[in-house]
Amino acid sequence: MRRTQPGPLSTPELSSRVLIIERDETVLAALAILLRKRSYRPQVVSTLAEAASAMAQESTPFGGMIAGLPFEDGDFFA
């Protein structure tokens, strides 16, 4: 299997920022470590309320989001 490195991003300060929403602290920590090794800048939260707060506080939108389902405190799709 051939591994590829992430390609150049058009807006690094936007695209390299990733919001991770995950209840399992072990998974959360592992994802954050993996993303940092790939030059991403993860912000980790464990609830939808924390995610909403993190998104509201940032002036630059996140370039991506990783979310573990289901959420105990709500639903993005409701």
What pLDDT digit, counting tens, does each position of 12-70 carry? Answer: 455 689 999 988 889 989 999 999 999 999 999 988 889 989 999 988 888 888 887 76
- Whether 2 maps to a domain, the answer reads no
pLDDT of residue 54: 92
CATH number at residue 60: 3.40.50
Do residues 54 and 45 make contact, with C-beta atoms less than 8 angstroms apart?
Answer: yes
DSSP conformation letters of 23-78: S-HHHHHHHHHHHHHTT-EEEEESSHHHHHHHHHH-SS--SEEEE-S--TT--TT-
Domain count, the chain: 1
Alpha-carbon distance of 50 to 60, in angstroms, equals 17
pLDDT band at 2 (very low <50, low <70, confident <90, very high): low
User: Vertex 59, ends 9 and 20: CA angle to 5°?
Assistant: 65
Domain holding 30, by residue range, is: 14-67
Query: Which residue has better confidence, 20 or 77?
Result: 20
Q: Do the domain assignments include residue 63? A: yes
23 domain-assigned: yes
Predicted pLDDT of residue 66? 87
pTM metric for this prediction? 0.69
